[in-house]
Amino acid sequence: MDGLGWLLDKTFRLMATYDLTEDYVLDELDGAKGWAMYNWSIANEANVWGTGLKIKGDGYIQQEKKRLAKLKN
């Protein structure tokens, strides 16, 4: 992932899924929160053919579970 192609994908997915304006996504929406919203939209886009993408590695909940386990030890 490089250049600004990813930015195009992220921006327009957020605009389409959440009915946001381009300026809001680019200028006002916290970029990290934008990733969380982007990932939620991918996780919830299942159709009759299943989901198109799956997370490589740990998702947020898995990351939290692992960090909780570390805290306990």
Partner 1 sequence: MPDAPIIIPKSVQDGVAATLAAQASDDKVGMKAATAALPGPMRDVFSPAPDIIVSDTPHQRISVRRFVDRDFVFLSALGHPLNRFSSFADRSYSFEPSGELAWQLCWLLTRPVADIKAAFKTIGAEGIKEAAADEFGELPIFGIGKIMEAIAKQMTIYASAHLEYEPNETGAEGEKSSPKP
Please report, as ranges, the residues that interact with partner 1 according to CB under 8 A: 1-4, 6-7, 10-11, 25-36, 39, 42, 46, 49-57, 59-61, 63-64, 67-68, 71-72
Calculated CA dihedral for residues 6, 61, 48, 51, nearest 10 degrees: 30
What whole-number distance in Å separates Cα of residue 7 and Cα of residue 26? 9
CB 15 within 8 A of CB 21: yes
- Least gap, CB of 40 to partner 1 (angstroms): 10
Q: Considering the complex, what minimum distance in angstroms separates the CB of residue 15 from partner 1?
A: 12
6 or 16: whose CB is closer to partner 1? Answer: 6
